[in-house]
Amino acid sequence: MSGDLFGPAPAGQEGAPLADRMRPRRFEELVGQSHLFDVGSPLALLRDGRHLSSIILWGPPGTGKTTIARLIATTANVTFVAFSAVLVGVKEVKETMARAAVEKRASGRPTVLFLDEIHRFNRAQQDAFLPHVENGVITLIGATTQNPSFELTSALLSRCRVYVLEPLSAAHVTLLIERALGDGERGVGNLKLEAEPRAIALLAEQADGDARRALAVIEAAAQQVGPGGRITAELIVDVLARRVPMYDKSGEGHYNLISALHKAVRGSDPQGALYWLARMIEGGEDPLYIARRVVRMATEDIGLADPQALGITIAAKDAFHFLGSPEGELAIAQAVVYLATAPKSNRVYLAYGEALEAARNSPAAPVPLHIRNAPTGLMKELGYGKGYQYGHSVPEAYIPQEYLPDQMTGKVFYQPGELGFEKKVKERLEYWDRIKREGAREGAQESAHRIPVERADRDDEPGGEG
């Protein structure tokens, strides 16, 4: 017979929250997640009680993870034990494992162990379940709102199949609301409430696919209007107060949203960029974190196509420091729109990556003698700085000479694109390359030698740029 460490499921109990009272008692009552129960799928076998296997249910809050776990245990007619990783301790886990072992020897059936928020267990705690899963004493069903590939150990993941639950659609939430309003036994049907269609539609949309949230709002609204009352859209807005967007600043949602912002900027879509920026701000993200990432976008995706982009993003960061929130957030929004509408180039980003690879592959390549610093007489005698040509000695401020190590002569890292300011950079490089191909400008060598010796020496002093 199915059981629960904390007593039977609260469905139908007077005083239990509406969401618990309305929890489905059979798979036929389950709303949403039909994609998980295709004919022949492992979850379909679990649903039909034909096969028990350990699984991880990954999805947003209020999408049915706990309900599915309870229904699987009920269908299989096995003991059900529920833990929350937030509350459980080592003692309770050991006691449960011992009882599960006794149950297995007595009946030959495993215990379904449901671990809510399993991602909150540390790696050692997760690994402690492995031998009990392997010997069949327990069938583990873990529930998490976080990406299992980030939060769970590889050993545990290899022993469990992961199923992804989707947020409920507005139509699904509407069905659940109407079911609760009409159910006089477990819902609030006995109150004979009248709910405006507009109110139900509004709540179904605002619930963000979370059935628990929707039912909690209905319960609060029912308490407010009393028996025979009317639930209006205005009341729903009042009960919702200020809906906090679903956003986990340390979980996958954090990375998904910043990725969406970055890709919208890269894709030159200011509308999408502003939306994802607003989502992060409304979700409580640190605006300075966003500002840092926006600076990165300026260097990675705009680069020299618009050299002002970097300055504007730095200015936005400084403006937020100066103004604080919420006024300073407008500066970040301005920077985001500027980046989204700027010409794009990742040529500097790619060039620096190639230069890094070259530096790692040749960490000991010597600096050519002619561009070495020569602060002492000995160094000059050894040829340090010999043959260096001072570019400012000619009108073009350019004299062809090699600046790479000998084994890299002619290597090209940076190749400018055709957009924005980089088009001018490309023209400039092509002009210099033309001079280089034609040979040094006639007389450039003599001009370089006409530099006063003391000037050259000053430039070669330690701390100088020459």
> For the whole model, what pTM was predicted?
0.57
Task: Give the CATH number of domain 371-459.
Answer: 1.10.3710
CB-based contacts of 32: which residues, under 8 Å, 6+ apart?
Answer: 63, 64, 166, 168, 169, 172
Matching residue, tokens 């059979």: 26
- Using DSSP's 3-state secondary structure scheme, residue 231 falls into strand
Amino acid type, 462:
P
* pLDDT beyond 90 at 294: yes
3-state secondary structure of 165: coil
DSSP assignment of 43-102 equals: HHHHHTTS----EEEE--TTSSHHHHHHHHHHHHT--EEEEETTT--HHHHHHHHHHHHH
Please give the residue that has the higher pLDDT: either 176 or 44. Answer: 176
Q: Where in the chain is the domain with CATH 1.20.272.10?
A: 252-341
**DSSP 3-state of 204:** helix
The 10 Å Cβ neighbour count of residue 318 is 13
Separation CA 43–CA 52 (nearest Å): 9
Q: pLDDT tier at 460 (50, 70, 90 boundaries)?
A: very low
Fold topology of 18-164: Rossmann fold (3.40.50)
Do 18 and 27 contact (CB within 8 A), yes or no? Answer: no
Contact (CB, 8 A) for 91 and 5: no
Q: Which stretches of 159-263 are assigned E, i.e. beta strand?
A: 161-164, 194-195, 230-231
pLDDT band at 200 (very low <50, low <70, confident <90, very high): very high
Where residue 214 falls among pLDDT bands split at 50, 70, 90? very high
Which of 278, 33, 45 is CA-nearest to residue 163?
A: 33
The answer as to CATH 3.30.2130.30 being correct for domain 252-341 is no
> Is CATH 3.90.260.10 what the domain over 170-240 is classified as, yes or no?
no
What's 368's DSSP letter?
P
According to the per-residue pLDDT averaged within each range, which of 29-43, 255-269, 366-380, 427-441 is highest?
255-269
- All CATH 1.10.3710 domain ranges in the chain, comma separated: 371-459
Which tokens sit at 363?
Answer: 């960490």
The residue to which tokens 């599915």 are assigned = 68
User: pLDDT band at 464, cuts 50/70/90?
Assistant: very low
Q: Kindly report, as residue ranges, where domains of CATH 1.10.8.60 are found in the chain.
A: 170-240
Question: Which pLDDT score is estimated for 410?
Answer: 85
- CA-wise closest residue to 245 among 272, 209, 269, 212: 209
